Structure formats: C-alpha cells, structure tokens
Amino acid sequence: MLTRIDHIGIACHDLDTTVEFYRSTYGFEVCHTEVNEEQGVREAMLRISGTSDGGASYLQLLEPLREDSTVAKWLAKNGEGVHHIAFGTADVDGDAESIRSKGVRVLYDRPKTGSMGSRITFLHPKDCHGVLTELVTSATEH
C-alpha cells in the first residue's frame, strides 16, 4: 500500500546552483548527497518534513553525469523542472506487482537500488497520465 509522497524529483543542469536556490529561497537543507553511476546522476536530497511512521518527504535534485543518462535526455527534451513523483511503500515488490496486474507497465523487472539505500522501480508515464512515477521502499523499511 502506498503510504506517502516520498519525494519529488527535479532535473537540473547545475546541482550546486539549484541546491542554493532551494536553501536560500525556502530554507531547505541538504540531508544527503550521492552519485548513482548506474543511473548516471549526481543528486541531493532536501528533507521537507517527517511523518509519524518514520518516513519523510523530500525534494530530490538530479544533475546528469553523462549525456546518455535518462535525466540528461529528459533535460534536453524538456528543460529543468519536475522529472517524477515518488510514492513511499513498505513493499515495493508487492505494490509493483499489484500495479502491473492492473495493466500499468513497470519499468524494472526487479527493483534497483535508489537514494540512501532504498529499493525503487518506476511506472511508465504513458500509463500514469503523463507522470513518471517511482515506487520507493526506504532502507529503514526493508
């Protein structure tokens, strides 16, 4: 069962400049950074709020590391902005299968490693009214 909006992914050309905008404009601070070589991105997670179940909501800022990454291709086509929405779940495997059984394409056969050790998969945007959708089980939940 999906439990919360885990994060909103925002594609950007310059991670440091974008982080500074969110810090100086809204007061959001970076709680985690990492490089995900598999996905070809450098990212920063900005914590927005916490929840009673131990989860949190974040902004995930994504800067491509190379031109052939999915985020770089998306930026070239769309420019900077909202890239995806991610919903938190305690069971990314089970929820992905349940959603797949309803005719929605799940992009990974098996969840991959995401930010902060989470397990993730994506749903095809053409099956989700134009929105790239991510399912996330945080590392503390698995």
Active site residue 38: no
d(CA 13, CA 26): 20
Is 39 among the catalytic positions? no
Residue 120 near residue 37 (C-beta atoms within 8 A): no
Q: Is position 142 annotated as part of the catalytic site?
A: no
Q: For residues 79 and 68, is the Cβ–Cβ distance under 8 A?
A: no
- 32 in catalytic set: no
Number of other CB atoms surrounding residue 116 within 10 Å: 15
- Which position among 39, 43, 63, 83 bears the catalytic label? 43
Instruction: Please pick, among 7, 39, 63, 83, the residue that the annotation labels catalytic.
Output: 7
Catalytic option among 39, 60, 63, 83: 60
43 classed as catalytic: yes
Closest residue by Cα to residue 117 from 140, 87, 91: 140
Active-site residue among 39, 63, 83, 134? 134
Catalytic residue among 39, 63, 83, 84: 84
Q: Say how many C-beta atoms besides its own lie within 10 A of residue 34's C-beta.
A: 14
Active site (catalytic) residues: 7, 43, 60, 84, 134
